[in-house]
């Protein structure tokens, strides 16, 4: 996928060439947003729950090193082997070495956005290890050789007919069968064989409890459990920010997580892994990968509160109409747009601009991350750090000069109106992006300033 | 009470009707209104593009023009929100803070300061209300559908005083129209698609007019409506509240 | 040279904000303390999320219903009272892969949660961690008195209990990954039956 050369606007424009598909994508995700609203409105204390979750996460970030040490000690006491990875490469190496040690060359993996962020599958495949993703949506995009387009609904960009075609090609289903029930059953049989034959299973982590050393994995399919409970070695990968202080805090997060994500009251499975099964090895990898850098950015640190529910994606009018792949990063949408520049400002300089700053994301966020304010602040940082094109810079400087000097503004206004020249919506040029699909405002006989001069000023 | 009228730069140049209606409406309600002639822009177009550090000139001009009034009123939620949140001055911090406190978007000035309870207004049309995001989610002019909080709407509170006006329902009552400042050209494809979808919601429910408290959103939607050759028009809320029976 | 652990911890310590207090979880007074209302809510939620739920008087009733619905296939239970209709030797099975052909597993839950109809099961109740996931159908028995209103009461009840593995299960395994069409029976049980002992 050579998406890196194109920015969000270009990728979104390509996505918008098929308007019927955009409508379908938008409606599907809007439906998920509506389910979220319905679930939230059934909980009268919803806003207080969000506030509590937010404060717990604030406390976590402010005391993270101590919680990590506490968690590690508890997990070790429980018989779990704890590893630390400073970056994606070290994480991938740890996974690889664990597999090599056991002579394993095939692994089953349940959903973990962290492993997407670390590009684990590519790494392992280059080292001769086959990884099968067991979440149905992730398996589908894996067969299509694509990354997930959504962190909760990985193949939400795919139509069932396309999935039917993929299954026909890879799993031998009859051509033309696109029935979700049938396709899911096919995947069930195919993946059951995988679960039964893989000796290593990797899972993500939703929450890790400092107090007890246990970690919680939430799925609807049961794929994390199927993998972990049948494998000889269970590897769980988590970002260091996934810690919460105490077990009882799960009550707050589990009430919020799935209601925010899909509108369900809870996922089918909320599995608490504390000790390895007898005869099994359990490994846990704590990954930094620049989270500590983000922690040091005062304006952006609270993006680390994210619990990966994807509510901000489902509500985002831009995400719904541009698709997850247009964000060209593992975590798409509004939250991805404030996380990605921390990883690589140059590569992801476009993402904070892929928003109208409407603010809906911040309102649905179950841990109250001020996402749209951070998008605004990233724009300021990216401009100052020099990641925004020079032409834009010159235009802005000219605009600033004019708008901060009234004389210039009025003169410019008289000669064909200053705004005509600089306001993006007003350039009378068919190449102007405004004019492509929109008429320009009809120029009035006189400006308000001129009208006021004639009609009011004499009285003053 | 003297109110300083702040008219957004593009409204001044392209939508004088909205500005005139704002002025007349305030005068009708007995407010003494002054319009400082030297005003230009709140600085938001630059700031939202990442150039907030270049906007000090705009800030200084606003402070110079407006700090002296009891209130500052502007018929655009977006400009008001920007000034409220971002105006600052190292030279005159007190004046900057006072501007931030006394600037009001027109609708909230009518409902919260003047506490208007009835209007002599008449607008016999089917009207769809567009909730501009900065006014709604930023200034909290209306309750937001995402939150589990009691419902309210300041624009509707006023529109309900207008005779013969019929508010049409919407499928998505507070989705963004896609204007978004420079987003409208930087992300042209998505911006237009969002605008088309918003319009379709209004048109399919029979709107003859789409109104709102932010002319920029309306300008964007008007651009698309006119390109489509639609009969539906846009109108700033001030023009409806100021519309008298002829 | 420092290892990654020390480097990460040092970076966190250097970059974290000043300590912010850990809030108390507010007391959310449940809609009602009334047991029959809570049970009703549990019942309604279970139905919504695709579970089948039956109020039963005793194990005899459960046995009759199971025998009626599951005429063939391997039935396994971890409940001694159901020994005459199912295998009960789960604990002694050395390899969880051999659970693959279980048609129905019947086990106990410690309690249920009304707001989401999840049931809490710990490793000693399932005996094999894989069992409740690998079976084709799952049935869970719980006492009507053991239903709490929300997750807050649930974790109060769990307290500091020790377990190797435990899970909340809410309904059959499911997915809506294909165009948001809900399909029951993704990888785990195709159905979930709740027997509530009155």
∠ CA B136-B140-B145, rounded to 5°: 60
Q: Is C68 on the interface with A (CB under 8 A)?
A: no
* A84 and A111 together in one domain: yes
In a domain, A218, yes or no: yes
User: Angle, nearest 10°, between helix axes A371-384 and A333-343?
Assistant: 30
| Residues A51 and A96 both lie in one domain | yes
A64 and A140 part of one domain: yes
Same domain, A330 and A269: no
Taking only the tens place, the pLDDT of each residue in A100-143 is 999 999 999 999 999 999 999 999 999 999 999 999 999 999 99
> Rounded to whole angstroms, how far apart are CA atoms A227 and A196?
8
User: How far is residue C115's CA from residue C98's CA, in Å, rounded to a whole number?
Assistant: 35
Q: Find which of C96, C110, C178, C180 to mutate to test the A interface (most A CBs within 10 Å of its CB).
A: C178
pLDDT of A431 > 80? The answer is no
Which positions of chain C have pLDDT values less than 50?
none
C113 neighbourhood in chain A, CB within 8 Å: 266
- Alpha-carbon gap, residue C12 to C14, rounded angstroms: 5
Cβ under 8 Å to C: A residues 238-267: 240, 245, 247-252, 254-255, 262, 264-267
Determine whether the interchain pair C45/A45 forms a contact, defined as Cβ–Cβ distance below 8 Å: no
Q: Do chains B and C touch (3 or more CB pairs under 8 A)?
A: no
Q: Is the pLDDT of residue A379 over 90?
A: yes
pLDDT for res A388:
83
pLDDT means per 10 residues in chain B (246 residues)?
93 93 97 90 87 89 94 96 93 94 97 97 98 95 97 98 98 96 92 98 98 96 96 98 91
Domain boundary among A340, A359, A388: A388
Average pLDDT over residues A318-322: 98
Q: In the block, which residue shows the tokens 């794929």?
A: A223
Chains A and C are touching, with contact defined as 3 or more CB–CB pairs separated by less than 8 Å: yes
Domains B2-113 and B126-241 are alike in CATH topology: yes
SS3 B215: helix
pLDDT band for position A401 (cuts 50, 70, 90): low
Q: Are residues A260 and A239 in the same domain?
A: yes
pLDDT of amino acid B118: 95
What CATH number does the domain containing A207 carry? 3.40.50.10420
B55 contacts: CB under 8 Å, gap ≥ 6:
A400, A404, B43, B46, B47, B86
A305 touches chain B (CB under 8 A): no
pLDDT in tens, C48-99: 999 999 999 999 999 999 999 998 999 999 999 999 999 999 999 989 999 9
Residue B88 burial (10 A CB sphere; 0-12, 13-18, 19+)? middle
Domains by residue range for chain C, with CATH: 34-197 (3.40.50.10420)
On whether ipTM exceeds 0.85, the answer is yes
Distance CA A80, CA A238 (A): 14
> Nearest CB to A292: which of C15, C118, C130?
C15
pLDDT digits (tens, 9 = 90+) for A194-212: 999 999 999 999 999 999 9
Q: List the domain boundaries for chain B.
A: 2-113, 126-241
Say if residue A245 is in the same domain as residue A348.
no
Domain that residue A207 falls in:
43-289
For residues A135-163, one letter each, b for 16 or more C-beta atoms within 10 angstroms of the residue's C-beta and e for the rest, the string is bbbbbbbbbbebbbbbbbbbbbbbbbeeb
Is the pLDDT at A432 greater than 90? The verdict is: no
pLDDT tens digits along B123-139: 999 999 999 999 999 99
User: Does residue A166 contact residue A144 with C-beta atoms inside 8 Å?
Assistant: yes
Question: In whole angstroms, what is the distance from residue C67 CA to residue C75 CA?
Answer: 10
Determine the CATH number of domain B126-241.
3.40.50
The alpha carbon dihedral of B165, B170, B175, B179 has a sign of: negative
Contact flag A317-B185 (C-beta cutoff 8 Å):
no
Cβ neighbours for A82, distance < 8 A, ≥ 6 positions apart: A72, A75, A76, A283, A284, A286
Rounded Cα–Cα distance for residues A115 and C19 (Å):
30
- State pLDDT tens for residues A141-165: 999 999 999 999 999 999 999 999 9
Q: Which of residues 79-138 of A touch C (CB under 8 A)?
A: 84-86, 90, 134-137
pLDDT, position A2:
42
Same domain for A161 and A234: yes
Say if C106 is an interface residue toward chain A (CB within 8 Å): no
- What lies within 8 Å, CB to CB, of C42 at 6+ separation is C53, C112, C113, C114, C117, C147, C196
Does a structural domain hold residue A393? no
Q: Are residues A268 and A365 in the same domain?
A: no
Q: pLDDT band at residue A430, thresholds of 50, 70 and 90?
A: low
Number of domains into which chain A is organized: 3
Q: Residue A439: inside a domain, yes or no?
A: yes
Q: Is the pLDDT of residue A428 over 90?
A: no
Closest CA to A83 of A99, A100, A65, A95: A95
Does the domain at residues B2-113 carry the CATH identifier 3.30.70?
A: no
H-run or E-run covering B66 = helix B56-66
Contact A410, A449 (CB under 8 A): yes
DSSP state of A334: H
Place of tokens 């003859």: B208
Residues A164 and A283 in one domain: yes
> Which of A230, A261, A289 is the last residue in one of the domains?
A289
C-alpha distances out from residue A44 to A36, A262, B145, C47, Å: 14, 18, 15, 22
For residue A117, being part of any structural domain is answered with yes
pLDDT at position B42? 86
Q: Is there a contact between A404 and B40 if contact means CB atoms under 8 Å apart? A: yes
Q: Are C37 and C31 in contact (CB under 8 A)?
A: yes
Question: Per-residue pLDDT for A52 more than 50?
Answer: yes
Closest CA–CA distance from residue A69 to any residue of chain C (Å): 8
Residue A76: pLDDT band (50, 70, 90) is very high
User: DSSP assignment, residue A173?
Assistant: P
Whose structure tokens read 């630059």?
A: B46
Cβ of B190 within 8 Å of Cβ of A321? The answer is: yes
Average pLDDT over residues A355-384: 97
A403 pLDDT band, cuts 50/70/90, is low
Residues A173 and A34 in one domain: no
Cα-to-chain-centroid distance, residue A218 = 17
Q: How many CB atoms lie within 10 A of CB C97?
A: 13
Q: Is the pTM of this model over 0.90?
A: yes
Of the residues C100, C116, C133, the best mutation for testing chain A's interface (the one with the most A CB atoms within 10 Å of its CB) is C133
Beta-carbon contacts below 8 Å between A and C: 242
Indicate if A76 and A134 belong to the same structural domain: yes
Same domain, A181 and A327: no
Give the A window 177-206 contacts with B, CB below 8 Å: none
Q: How far apart are CA C11 and CA C4, in angstroms?
A: 10
In this prediction, residue A460 has a pLDDT band, given cuts at 50, 70 and 90, of very low
A345 touching chain B per CB within 8 A: no
């Amino acid at each position: 996928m050579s998406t890196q050369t194109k920015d969000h606007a270009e990728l979104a424009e390509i996505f918008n060439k098929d308007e019927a598909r955009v409508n379908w994508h938008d409606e599907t995700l809007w439906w998920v947003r509506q389910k979220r609203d319905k679930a939230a409105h059934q909980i009268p204390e919803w806003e207080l729950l969000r506030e509590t979750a937010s404060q717990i996460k604030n406390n976590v970030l402010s005391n993270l090193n101590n919680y990590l040490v506490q968690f590690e000690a508890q997990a070790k006491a429980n018989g779990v082997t704890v590893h630390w990875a400073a970056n994606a490469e070290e994480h991938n190496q740890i996974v690889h070495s664990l597999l090599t040690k056991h002579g394993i060359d095939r692994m089953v993996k349940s959903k973990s956005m962290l492993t997407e962020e670390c590009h684990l599958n590519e790494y392992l495949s280059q080292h001769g290890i086959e990884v099968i993703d067991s979440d149905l949506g992730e398996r589908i995009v894996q067969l299509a050789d694509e990354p997930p387009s959504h962190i909760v609904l990985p193949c939400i960009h795919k139509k069932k007919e396309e999935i039917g075609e993929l299954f026909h090609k890879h799993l031998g289903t009859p051509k033309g069968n696109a029935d979700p029930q049938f396709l899911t059953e096919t995947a069930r049989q195919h993946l059951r064989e995988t679960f039964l034959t893989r000796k290593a299973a990797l899972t993500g982590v939703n929450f890790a409890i400092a107090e007890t050393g246990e970690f919680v994995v939430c799925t609807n399919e049961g794929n994390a459990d199927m993998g972990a409970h049948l494998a000889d070695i269970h590897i769980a990968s988590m970002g260091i920010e996934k810690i919460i202080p105490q077990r009882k805090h799960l009550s707050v997060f589990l009430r919020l997580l799935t209601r925010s994500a899909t509108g369900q009251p809870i996922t089918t499975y909320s599995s608490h892994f504390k000790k390895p099964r007898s005869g099994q090895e359990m490994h846990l990898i704590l990954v930094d990968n620049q989270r500590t850098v983000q922690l040091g950015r005062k304006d952006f640190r609270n993006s680390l509160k994210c619990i990966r529910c994807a509510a901000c994606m489902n509500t985002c009018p831009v995400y719904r109409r541009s698709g997850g792949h247009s964000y060209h990063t593992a975590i798409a949408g509004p939250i991805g747009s404030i996380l990605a520049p921390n990883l690589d400002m140059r590569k992801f300089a476009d993402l904070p601009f892929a928003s109208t700053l409407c603010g809906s994301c911040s309102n649905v966020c179950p841990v109250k991350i001020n996402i749209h304010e951070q998008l605004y602040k990233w724009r300021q940082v990216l401009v100052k750090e020099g990641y925004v094109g020079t032409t834009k810079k010159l235009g802005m400087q000219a605009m600033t000069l004019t708008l901060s000097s009234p004389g210039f503004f009025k003169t410019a206004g008289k000669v064909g109106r200053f705004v005509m020249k600089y306001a993006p919506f007003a350039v009378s040029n068919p190449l102007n992006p405004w004019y492509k699909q929109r008429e320009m405002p009809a120029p009035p006989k006189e400006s308000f300033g001129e009208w006021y001069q004639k009609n009011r000023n004499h009285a003053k | 009470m003297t109110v300083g009228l702040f008219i957004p730069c593009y409204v001044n140049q392209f939508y004088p009707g909205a500005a005139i209606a704002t002025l007349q409406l305030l005068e009708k309600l007995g407010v003494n209104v002054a319009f400082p002639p030297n005003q230009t822009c709140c600085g938001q177009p630059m700031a939202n593009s990442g150039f907030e550090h270049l906007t000090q000139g705009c800030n200084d001009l606003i402070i110079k023009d407006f700090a002296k009034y009891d209130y500052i009123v502007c018929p655009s939620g977006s400009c008001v929100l920007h000034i409220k949140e971002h105006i600052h001055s190292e030279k005159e911090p007190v004046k900057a803070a006072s501007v931030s406190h006394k600037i009001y978007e027109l609708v909230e000035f009518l409902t919260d300061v003047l506490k208007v309870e009835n209007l002599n207004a008449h607008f016999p049309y089917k009207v769809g209300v567009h909730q501009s995001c900065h006014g709604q989610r930023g200034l909290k002019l209306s309750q937001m559908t995402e939150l589990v909080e009691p419902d309210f709407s300041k624009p509707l509170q006023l529109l309900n005083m207008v005779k013969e006006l019929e508010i049409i329902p919407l499928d998505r009552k507070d989705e963004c129209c896609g204007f978004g400042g420079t987003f409208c050209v930087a992300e042209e494809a998505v911006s237009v698609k969002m605008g088309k979808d918003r319009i379709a919601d209004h048109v399919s429910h029979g709107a003859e007019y789409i109104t709102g408290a932010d002319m920029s959103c309306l300008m964007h939607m008007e651009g698309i409506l006119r390109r489509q050759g639609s009969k539906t028009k846009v109108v700033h809320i001030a023009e409806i509240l100021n519309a008298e029976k002829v | 040279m420092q290892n990654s652990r020390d480097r990460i911890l040092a970076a966190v310590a250097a970059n974290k904000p000043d300590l912010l207090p850990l809030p108390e979880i507010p007391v959310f007074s449940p809609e009602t303390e009334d047991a029959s209302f809570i049970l009703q809510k549990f019942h309604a939620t279970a139905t919504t999320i695709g579970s089948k739920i039956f109020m039963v008087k005793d194990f005899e009733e459960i046995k009759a219903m199971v025998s009626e619905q599951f005429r063939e296939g391997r039935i396994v239970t971890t409940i001694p009272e159901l020994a005459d209709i199912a295998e009960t030797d789960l604990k002694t099975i050395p390899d969880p892969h051999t659970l693959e052909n279980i048609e129905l597993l019947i086990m106990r839950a410690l309690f249920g949660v009304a707001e989401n109809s999840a049931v809490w099961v710990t490793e000693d109740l399932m005996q094999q961690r894989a069992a409740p996931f690998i079976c084709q159908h799952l049935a869970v028995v719980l006492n009507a008195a053991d239903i709490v209103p929300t997750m807050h009461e649930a974790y109060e009840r769990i307290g500091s209990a020790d377990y190797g593995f435990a899970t909340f299960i809410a309904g059959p395994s499911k997915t809506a990954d294909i165009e948001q069409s809900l399909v029951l029976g993704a990888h785990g049980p195709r159905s979930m039956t709740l027997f509530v002992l009155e």
